Structure 1
Amino acid sequence: MSNDIQPVLSNAPYAPREGVFIPRKQVRKMRRARDIVEEAQRRARGILKEAQRQADDMRGQARAAGHGEGALAAAAQVLSHFDASQTLARRLRGELEQHARTLLAAALDHPDTVLALLDECLQGLSGPPQQRMKVCLPAAMRGVRARVQSLLDAAGHGAADIEYRDDGRLAVLAGEQVFAFDPQVSIEAGSARLLARFPDLEETVRSLGEAAMQNFSMKTGA
């Protein structure tokens, strides 16, 4: 499974379990994790293109100020550029983070993803069923009740009680075994990993602006 999405499942009241992930064959079938990364990369390229355009605009404005109002106005333009580039970098990184969160939320809310997680929970149960199971699913899963029931039947829990939640969480309660998945945890972790792919975004934006201003300074002598 892609390192960009690692759902966190806990086996309460015991220590958190490791290695309970969406099966690779399911991820390959959906290709959602790779699509998320590629979309984030496309968005980052668009962000840097916008940064280049804004840097060029700053250079043009500074050149106009230098020619029309003298070196003092040009120097003021140079100083204001640094504040503007920092503001731009923060805004662009914020846009990328929000975009990543939106993509991850959509992926984790997809029925195929939830079904894969439910299947992993059922396979992780130890011992034969001793009492009626309770399953809590995201509200969006109401439309695939038959597929949910098929998984439960295959695991020997066909008579399980099913409830739907509006918070997107998945929980399976089987006696003393409790498995839970909170999508917000994965969204936080996943968006952080996606942003980590572009650690020098702010530096790139700043460098673009500095290059533009240096080019301007050499041409105008400001």
Structure 2
Amino acid sequence: MTDADREQGARENDTAAPAEPSAADLIGAALGGAARRAGLGADSSESTQKVVWTAMGGWRGILESVLPSLAFVVLFTVRPEPLILSLGVSVGLAAVFTAIRLLQKSPPSAAIGGLVAAGVAAVLALWTGRGADNFVPGLITNAVYGTAMIVAALVGWSLIGLAVGFLMGEGTAWRQDRRKRRAFFWLGIAWGVLFFARLGVQLPLYLTDQVTLLGTLKLIMGLPLFAPLVAVTWLVVRALYRRGE
């Protein structure tokens, strides 16, 4: 076989071999899949109210998000000792929600995530003996998510854009559209600011061991801020893709 034949064969192999997905493709597919599992679809005609309600998980999602933390705050305020009482009730409620989802064969990912987070937080608080340490995982989560959102937006790979691109079936093609790229940049910044705002308010309370106020503000800055930003995000996405159609 001549060198020319070998080169021709190599070119044919390169052409036939499928391109391996890039890191952006993998991240976007994961984010888009998570959005689908949360009940979000690619139909840009859906109402904003429906999208927000779906993103929150309906009444069940709201209860799963609020009740464990609310129970901890109330019980800790009324009776801070023994600490295991308020922590046990909080983790117990998360376990009940998870069991109900499993028995009803509904997607258990949200409830399991809440149970794992509550369990880790409770173990940490029992280990240190400080009720405030029950909120450490949430503080870390806000710092990580906020950093990821803002850094990704600044380097031109908005995580919101990646999720929406794969949810809408266009992958990373949105990066070739100046309007979409700019819109997803600012949405990424907005979500990053939300996470850092939570961290900025809650971290000083954690450092000063103000457990009741910390838990109360965590609840206030949770779904009440999450829902409006989901609504704004969906309104922007719907405008972008309806105009594209």
TM exceeding 0.5: no
User: Bigger relative contact order, structure 1 or 2, given CA contacts below 8 A and separation 6+?
Assistant: 1
TM-score, normalization by structure 2:
0.27
Bigger Rg over Cα: 1
Q: If each structure's helix is expressed as a fraction of its own residues, which one has the higher value?
A: 2
Decide which structure has greater strand share: 1
Taking structure 1 as the reference length, the TM-score comes to 0.29
